[in-house]
Chains A and B, each alone.
Chain A
Amino acid sequence: MQIQLPFSSFTLRNGLQLIVHEDHSVPIAAVNLWYRVGSKDERPGRTGFAHLFEHLMFEGSANVPQGQFDELLEVVGGINNGSTSTDRTNYWETVPSAACELALFLEADRMGSLPDAMTQAKLDAQRDVVKNERRQSYENRPYGLAFETMHAALYPSTHPYHWPIIGWMPDLDAATLSDVNAFFRRYYVPNNASLCVAGDVDAQQIHELAEKYFGPIPPAAPPAPVSAPLPALSASRASSLEDDVHLPRVYIAWHSPAMFETGDAELDVLGAAMSQGKNARLYRSLVYQNEWAQDVQAFQSSALLGSTFNVVVTARPGIELDRLVEAVWSELRAAARDLERIEVQRAVNRFETSLVDSLQTVGGFGGRADRLNHYAFYLNDPDGVQRDLDRYRRIEPDAVMQAAHTTLLDASAITLTVLPRARTSPLLVSA
Chain B
Amino acid sequence: MRLANGLDLLVVTKSGLPVIDVQLVVRGGAVLDAPAKSGRASLTAELVDEGTDRYSALEISDQVELLGADLELRAGWDACFASCHGLSGRLAEMLDLLGEIVLRPRFPEDEFRRKHQERLHQLAQERDEPRLVAVKTLNRVVFGDDHPFGKPLSGTAATVASLDRSSLLEYYASGFVPSNAHLVIVGDITPDRALNLAEKTFGQWLRAAVPERDWSGVVTRPRATKLVDKPGAAQSEVRVGHVGPSRGTPDYYALQVLNTILGGSFKSRLNMTLRERKGFTYGANSTLALRRNGGLFSAGAAVFTDHTAETIAITVHEIDRIREEPVTTEEIERARQYLALGFMRHFETTSEIAAHLAELALYDLPDSYLQEYPVQIAEVSRAAVSAVAQRHLRPEQLAIVVVGDRARVHEPIEAIGLGPIDVWEAE
Taking a contact as CB atoms closer than 8 A, the residue among A244, A294, A349, A424 that contacts B67 in the complex is A349
Contact with B along A64-93 (1 / 0, CB 8 A): 000100110011111100000000000000
Within 8 A of A (CB), among B68-110: 68-70, 85-87
Taking a contact as CB atoms closer than 8 A, the residue among A67, A245, A356, A362 that contacts B87 in the complex is A356
Report B-chain residues with C-beta under 8 Å of the C-beta of A170: none
Q: How far is the CA of A142 from the CA of B233 in the complex (A)?
A: 11
Taking a contact as CB atoms closer than 8 A, the residue among B65, B124, B342 that contacts A276 in the complex is B65
B340:A132 contact, CB within 8 angstroms: no
Does A345 make an interface contact (CB < 8 A)? Answer: yes
Asked if A131 meets B58 with Cβ closer than 8 Å, knowing A125-B279, A429-B229, the reply is: no
Taking a contact as CB atoms closer than 8 A, the residue among B267, B282, B338, B347 that contacts A133 in the complex is B282
Does B122 make an interface contact (CB < 8 A)? Answer: yes
Looking at A24-32, A204-212, A232-240, the stretch in contact with chain B turns out to be: A24-32
A294:B58 contact, CB within 8 angstroms: no
Does B112 make an interface contact (CB < 8 A)? Answer: no
Does A428 make an interface contact (CB < 8 A)? Answer: yes
Within 8 A of B (CB), among A320-360: 342, 345-353, 356-357, 359-360
Asked if A352 meets B87 with Cβ closer than 8 Å, knowing A246-B124, A294-B125, the reply is: yes
B338:A131 contact, CB within 8 angstroms: no
A140:B67 contact, CB within 8 angstroms: no
A345:B66 contact, CB within 8 angstroms: yes
Does A396 make an interface contact (CB < 8 A)? Answer: no
Q: How far is the CA of A246 from the CA of B337 in the complex (A)?
A: 46
Q: How far is the CA of A351 from the CA of B17 in the complex (A)?
A: 15
Q: How far is the CA of A317 from the CA of B125 in the complex (A)?
A: 11
Report B-chain residues with C-beta under 8 Å of the C-beta of A430: 229, 231, 406
Report B-chain residues with C-beta under 8 Å of the C-beta of A129: 275-276, 279, 281-282
Within 8 A of A (CB), among B339-353: 339-345, 347-350
B304:A28 contact, CB within 8 angstroms: no
Does B391 make an interface contact (CB < 8 A)? Answer: no
Does B234 make an interface contact (CB < 8 A)? Answer: yes
A427:B16 contact, CB within 8 angstroms: no
Does A259 make an interface contact (CB < 8 A)? Answer: no
Q: How far is the CA of A200 from the CA of B349 in the complex (A)?
A: 16
B58:A284 contact, CB within 8 angstroms: yes
Asked if A427 meets B17 with Cβ closer than 8 Å, knowing A246-B125, A277-B65, the reply is: no
Taking a contact as CB atoms closer than 8 A, the residue among B266, B272, B304, B349 that contacts A135 in the complex is B304
B425:A140 contact, CB within 8 angstroms: no
Asked if A426 meets B231 with Cβ closer than 8 Å, knowing A94-B345, A360-B17, the reply is: yes
B344:A26 contact, CB within 8 angstroms: yes
Does A291 make an interface contact (CB < 8 A)? Answer: yes
Report A-chain residues with C-beta under 8 Å of the C-beta of B128: 142, 244-246, 426-427
Does A316 make an interface contact (CB < 8 A)? Answer: yes
Q: Chain A: interface residue count, which band?
A: 35 or more
Most A Cβ at <10 Å: residue of B127, B272, B341, B343: B341
B234:A139 contact, CB within 8 angstroms: yes
B348:A362 contact, CB within 8 angstroms: yes
Does A96 make an interface contact (CB < 8 A)? Answer: yes
Report A-chain residues with C-beta under 8 Å of the C-beta of B122: 294
Q: How far is the CA of A288 from the CA of B303 in the complex (A)?
A: 39
Does A63 make an interface contact (CB < 8 A)? Answer: no
Does A43 make an interface contact (CB < 8 A)? Answer: no
Report B-chain residues with C-beta under 8 Å of the C-beta of A127: 279
Report A-chain residues with C-beta under 8 Å of the C-beta of B17: 356, 359-360
Q: How far is the CA of A348 from the CA of B277 in the complex (A)?
A: 48
A279:B265 contact, CB within 8 angstroms: no
Does A278 make an interface contact (CB < 8 A)? Answer: yes
Taking a contact as CB atoms closer than 8 A, the residue among B129, B233, B349 that contacts A361 in the complex is B349
Does A389 make an interface contact (CB < 8 A)? Answer: no
Q: How far is the CA of A28 from the CA of B228 in the complex (A)?
A: 45
Closest residue of A by beta carbon distance from B347:
A26
Does A136 make an interface contact (CB < 8 A)? Answer: yes
Taking a contact as CB atoms closer than 8 A, the residue among B125, B228, B344, B348 that contacts A247 in the complex is B125
Does B133 make an interface contact (CB < 8 A)? Answer: yes
Report B-chain residues with C-beta under 8 Å of the C-beta of A96: 341, 344
A-B contact pairs, 22 of them (CB 8 A): A67-B276, A74-B265, A74-B337, A77-B343, A79-B345, A124-B279, A128-B278, A129-B275, A133-B282, A135-B234, A135-B235, A135-B304, A136-B281, A247-B121, A277-B61, A277-B64, A279-B65, A314-B125, A346-B62, A357-B349, A360-B349, A429-B424
Interface residues of A (CB under 8 A from B): 1, 25-28, 67, 70-71, 74-79, 94, 96, 124-133, 135-137, 139-142, 244-247, 276-279, 284, 288, 291, 294, 314, 316-317, 342, 345-353, 356-357, 359-362, 424, 426-430
Per CB-CB distance, the 8 closest pairs between chain A and chain B, nearest first, are A77-B341, A128-B279, A349-B68, A278-B61, A346-B65, A133-B282, A142-B128, A353-B68
17 further interface pairs, Cβ-Cβ under 8 Å (given A132-B302, A140-B233): A25-B16, A71-B267, A74-B265, A74-B334, A77-B342, A77-B344, A79-B345, A136-B282, A342-B66, A346-B62, A346-B65, A347-B65, A353-B87, A357-B85, A359-B17, A427-B127, A428-B425
